[in-house]
Structure 1
Amino acid sequence: MSKPFVHIQNLSVQYGQKTVLKDLEWIYSTGSQWAIGGKSGSGKSTLAKAIAGQVSYQGSIDLNTPERKVLYVPSWYQFTNLEGDRNFYYQQRYNTQQRKDTQTVKSDLANFAKDANLLLEDSLPLMEALGLTDQLNAQLIALSSGEHKKMQLVKAFWQRPAMLVIDEPYTGLDKATRSALNDCFNDLSDKGTHLILLTNDTNLPQCINAFAVIENGQLKQVESPLHFTPAEVREAKNLPEFLKEEPTLSSSEIVRLKDVNVRYGDKTVLSDISWQIDRGERWVVQGHNGSGKSTLLSLINADHPQAYGYDIRLFGNQRGSGESIWDIKQKIGLISPEMHWYFDQTATVWETVASGLRDSIGLFSDISYREKQQVNELLDFFELTEVKNDLLQTLALGKQRLAMLARTIIKNPPLLVLDEPCQGLDQSQTQYFNDVVDELCQYGKTLLYVGHYESQLPKSIDHRLLLEKGHIVFNGAIKSVKETTVEQEA
């Protein structure tokens, strides 16, 4: 009988007083390839980090590889500026001057190759497979969240470790890239790398032949990915009363863009964009990674400096006609991957939610007694009261997202701009949040929702905008979310 590739016995991990894994046992047989799913916060990432030697643990983890080389790839991609630090702010990617503060994709790959003793030319087939070749001369900070994920994956595959553990490998990727990624996983498996994919996605590469979930600190093998997140009915709660107040607006026109173009040097990001959103409409915005979705939303969010140079009207007012950025932001509730990446790392969960009242990245001013009550009501609504004094960054990713989502709606804004809001949420959390969005829309809210998965969209969606290489290819009403066929086209 061959020796297991990984043999784990009596594995226990605690964070403070909280036990995440308890006497976990697992035999990872040589030649098997695993996917581990389950609820957000169940301990998947903790198990991965323990195998990679990144957290302290009790028990034993025996690896049957001479080099003991295990590469753990976290769910988010981190990059630095030219001075080697990460002091970015989330609007920075839209600032022409600040964009020059980071390396290009090509120079970043060259430096990585040098540090990891790799050949630069070996990265090019991976870049082509994941659709990044056209971005070689782009600044890192100018990439979309999906393109950053591709960069992270290229570097992981390039190293060909004995074992590759990837946390949420499909986050933010369009359908075409997810399919290409599965081909890369199959190829890596054929070349001898052992895989652990931490995901609830059911469209997995053919090489994955074993499945498990973590429940109550223990690893439990299941028959298929269909058992990753069993249907769970969350406790029905009444929406806080302050969120049922319909917005008072002087105009039925929420957004109007006419012949808008956005360029960076020779690169055109958006081309001849004309689009109107009226009060109460619920839009889904879709397109391939890098198609211009986030840039388009930044024009609406008042985060893009080029917004002043074009014919853009928000809430009935021409941009640059007297309204301040903060006047506009007061009417918009925003969540995006970039905002989450760059959020204040010293903020508690309570401070994170409360900061939405002042549109700040962290809480830096006092709020009223009534506002404090509203924060507490939302924490209870999203089942975050028990962790309200914990640092946001110490929570499982799914709970971090719920806190950020609570921050988005705390001021009861008339316009919700939700850019891939369910990244990191499990199936139950995703359904719960989208049900909340649907209920909010019953009280006069206007919605812009970016999402790649048809199955993870609010049912109230009634309009769709589809972008392709910065151009609008569909703009209009739909009867249901089943008509959001970008997954077939992407």
Structure 2
Amino acid sequence: MKLINLNLRLNKQTILNNINWHIQPGECWALLGTNASGKTSLAQIISGELAPSSGEIAGRPVQVAWVSLEAQQHIYERELYRDDTDFMDQLDAGTTVKELMCETAPWSDRHQQLAAALQLTPLLDRGYRLLSSGEGRKLMLANALLSEPELLILDEPFEGLDAASRNELHQVINQLIANGQWLLLMVNQQDDICSGFSQLALLDKGELRFTGAMPNDLAEQWQHLLTLRNKPMPLPARQSQFQLDDWPENKPLVHIENGFVQYDDTYQFQGLNWQLLPGVHSQISGPNGCGKSTLLGLITGDHPQCYRNRMQVFGYQRGQGESIWQIKKHLGYVSGNLHRDYRVAGNALTAVVSGLTDSIGVYKAIGESEKQLALSWLALIGLREKWNTPFRQLSMGEQRLVLMARALIKQPPLLILDEPTQGLDDFNRYYVLNTVERIIANGPTTLLFVSHRQDESLKIINHKLLFTESKAPEVLFDIQTTQPNA
């Protein structure tokens, strides 16, 4: 397959510029790209979903499968359209994993083998809307492999996976390489490149900077690109109207007694007794699907079972007449669920401003002071020049950066970050985490942090909440805590 003088312009912007790339049949390439480099657009062109503005592709394979965050979002929105919860007396969990795997062909030994290889067998009867983002990603990979593609494009396949699942996927990919599968792996973090890839392409700002055999000095070349993005800037002013005045140090921001989440006869977790004190910066860890994001949903009020639990947030007992906005005004929040649900019209600026009103979208005129504050945060994340770009037209990495600015704009008393660096390249990942640490050092913000990455355990963390598989058959997961500074 040859990409010859390939160019792409969308909305008067150059996305890809003069791409020339020769990929031999059966070769396994890793494409390493920065945020907004054009990786996804390139994948869409190769898969036939998008036509280039000029240039040509010679020898494109007939059957191409593309696994991506964008495709996962499409499935989620389709499942939302099919949601019948409003017409039922219980939650509609959506199409089951087994049904989704059988959409193109009846169940077979091949389905069973892939389900086992990707740890999907225990999830076959679970509805799609009850899957974690990592579990949904593994389902998409299974369906892609079921189509038996000539060329398989994996676009950020490791995002949202816990450490064990990442290792399992590395093994699956290396086995595919050993079996002769034609593969193109697109990632924005160097550590996500599997050992079996012998060819490398570097993509930055729509241009191929390097193509060829995997170099010995990959880290040096990648670091050279990233250091060009150094952008130290002062933090915008803290917004005092969102702070908790005179909050006692020994009064919990969050307090849960015997907390649980139950679906039919199955507990996702139970027996949680936990409190989060001001200044006790906490990290929640555990495997995919154990309930980490669910617990955060209980705290924010976005999970309906928050009202079934004995739970206090900022001194308000859930279900005792408090307004959800009395709680949310003291929160900053970013997660995969928020990202996939942020589907309203609006530009990057309005997305950041919506963090001041805790809404998805902005439904009133934006004042000049709000606009300037949002612009300062967009400048901090390097996207000020894209303030008027529609949110949905930004790359997935740029969207995540905007949602981070949305969460940080209040510099709130409680900052909840659930896999905040998904979709970010190495530079932006460390830059965002450094900005979070600066905010913590700058004032009375308490951090509640979820990450599957081993290299994202922040120095400021002094408390851990660990979800582990329980040996008790009636409990799927139990929870262990360590004391601060333990």
- Tell me the TM-score normalised to structure 2 length: 0.89
| 8 A contact 1:247–1:445 mirrored in 2 | no
Secondary structure at the counterpart of residue 171 of structure 1: coil
Find the counterpart in structure 1 of residue 473 from structure 2: none
Q: Distance in 2 between matches of 1:367 and 1:98?
A: 39
Q: Distance in 1 between matches of 2:64 and 2:452?
A: 31
Find the counterpart in structure 2 of residue 473 from structure 1: 480
Give the C-alpha shift of residue 61 in structure 1: 1.2
Deviation readout 1:350-378 (Å, 9 max, x if unpaired): 11111111111111123444323322222
Query: In structure 2, what residue type is equivalent to 1:237?
Result: M
Matches within 5 A, 1:29-48: 29-48=24-43
Deviation readout 1:206-259 (Å, 9 max, x if unpaired): 431111211353321351553445452622111011258964253431111111
Find the counterpart in structure 2 of residue 323 from structure 1: 322
| 8 A contact 2:36–2:205 mirrored in 1 | no
Q: CA separation of 1:190/1:100 partners in 2, compared to 1, >3 Å: closer, same or farther? A: same
| 8 A contact 1:379–1:406 mirrored in 2 | yes
Find the counterpart in structure 2 of residue 420 from structure 1: 419
Q: CA separation of 1:385/1:316 partners in 2, compared to 1, >3 Å: closer, same or farther? A: same
Give the C-alpha shift of residue 459 in structure 1: 2.9
Deviation readout 1:321-340 (Å, 9 max, x if unpaired): 33211111111111110111
Find the counterpart in structure 1 of residue 57 from structure 2: 61
- Segments of structure 2 that go 5 or more residues without pairing to the other structure are 470-476
Find the counterpart in structure 2 of residue 223 from structure 1: 215
Find the counterpart in structure 1 of residue 184 from structure 2: 196
| 8 A contact 1:162–1:192 mirrored in 2 | no
Q: Distance in 1 between matches of 2:103 and 2:25?
A: 34
Find the counterpart in structure 2 of residue 15 from structure 1: 10
Find the counterpart in structure 1 of residue 450 from structure 2: 450
Q: Distance in 2 between matches of 1:49 and 1:142?
A: 28
Find the counterpart in structure 1 of residue 91 from structure 2: 99
Is 1:250 the counterpart of 2:285? The answer is: no
Find the counterpart in structure 2 of residue 133 from structure 1: 121
Deviation readout 1:32-84 (Å, 9 max, x if unpaired): 2111112111122222111112222111211264xx21222222414658x95
Deviation readout 1:393-415 (Å, 9 max, x if unpaired): 11122111111111112233210
Q: CA separation of 1:17/1:78 partners in 2, compared to 1, >3 Å: closer, same or farther? A: closer
Query: In structure 2, what residue type is equivalent to 1:460?
Result: I
Give the C-alpha shift of residue 85 in structure 1: 5.9
Is 1:75 the counterpart of 2:75? The answer is: no
Q: Distance in 2 between matches of 1:22 and 1:369?
A: 37
The alignment of Structure 1 onto Structure 2 pairs a total of residues equal to 464
Q: Distance in 2 between matches of 1:213 and 1:347?
A: 32
Give the C-alpha shift of residue 140 in structure 1: 0.8
Q: CA separation of 1:361/1:216 partners in 2, compared to 1, >3 Å: closer, same or farther? A: closer
Pick the aligned partner of 1:237 from 222, 233, 236. 233
Moved more, 396-405 or 121-130: 121-130
Pick the aligned partner of 2:194 from 181, 194, 205. 205
Q: CA separation of 1:315/1:129 partners in 2, compared to 1, >3 Å: closer, same or farther? A: same
Q: Distance in 1 between matches of 2:43 and 2:324?
A: 42
Find the counterpart in structure 1 of residue 109 from structure 2: 121
Q: Distance in 1 between matches of 2:433 and 2:267?
A: 33
Query: In structure 1, what residue type is equivalent to 2:164?
Result: A
Find the counterpart in structure 2 of residue 274 from structure 1: 273
Is 1:462 the counterpart of 2:459? The answer is: no
Give the C-alpha shift of residue 124 in structure 1: 1.8
Matches within 5 A, 1:129-168: 129-168=117-156
| 8 A contact 1:170–1:178 mirrored in 2 | yes
Q: Distance in 2 between matches of 1:164 and 1:325?
A: 44
Secondary structure at the counterpart of residue 110 of structure 2: helix
| 8 A contact 1:160–1:188 mirrored in 2 | no
Q: Distance in 1 between matches of 2:308 and 2:19?
A: 59
Give the C-alpha shift of residue 277 in structure 1: 0.7
Find the counterpart in structure 2 of residue 488 from structure 1: none
Q: CA separation of 1:332/1:165 partners in 2, compared to 1, >3 Å: closer, same or farther? A: same
Matches within 5 A, 1:253-264: 253-264=252-263
Find the counterpart in structure 2 of residue 361 from structure 1: 360
Query: In structure 1, what residue type is equivalent to 2:2?
Result: H
Matches within 5 A, 1:308-347: 308-347=307-346
Moved more, 302-311 or 432-441: 302-311
| 8 A contact 1:465–1:476 mirrored in 2 | no
| 8 A contact 2:256–2:272 mirrored in 1 | yes
Query: In structure 2, what residue type is equivalent to 1:73?
Result: V
| 8 A contact 2:284–2:450 mirrored in 1 | yes
Deviation readout 1:86-122 (Å, 9 max, x if unpaired): 4499xx99x99563162121222222435xxxx5431
Q: Distance in 2 between matches of 1:177 and 1:78?
A: 20
Q: Distance in 2 between matches of 1:291 and 1:361?
A: 27
Q: CA separation of 1:190/1:306 partners in 2, compared to 1, >3 Å: closer, same or farther? A: same
Query: In structure 1, what residue type is equivalent to 2:178?
Result: D
Q: CA separation of 1:243/1:434 partners in 2, compared to 1, >3 Å: closer, same or farther? A: farther
Q: Distance in 1 between matches of 2:116 and 2:158?
A: 17
Q: Distance in 1 between matches of 2:291 and 2:232?
A: 37
Pick the aligned partner of 1:174 from 152, 162, 187. 162
Give the C-alpha shift of residue 203 in structure 1: 4.7
Q: Distance in 1 between matches of 2:351 and 2:89?
A: 29
Secondary structure at the counterpart of residue 105 of structure 2: helix
Query: In structure 1, what residue type is equivalent to 2:479?
Result: I
RMSD: 2.5
Give the C-alpha shift of residue 430 in structure 1: 0.8
Q: Distance in 2 between matches of 1:381 and 1:374?
A: 11
| 8 A contact 2:255–2:275 mirrored in 1 | yes
Q: Distance in 1 between matches of 2:422 and 2:82?
A: 21
Q: Distance in 2 between matches of 1:354 and 1:191?
A: 50
Q: Distance in 1 between matches of 2:355 and 2:435?
A: 17
Query: In structure 2, what residue type is equivalent to 1:177?
Result: S
Q: CA separation of 1:426/1:108 partners in 2, compared to 1, >3 Å: closer, same or farther? A: same
Secondary structure at the counterpart of residue 397 of structure 2: helix
Q: CA separation of 1:440/1:87 partners in 2, compared to 1, >3 Å: closer, same or farther? A: farther
Secondary structure at the counterpart of residue 165 of structure 1: strand
Q: Distance in 2 between matches of 1:17 and 1:42?
A: 16
Secondary structure at the counterpart of residue 59 of structure 1: strand
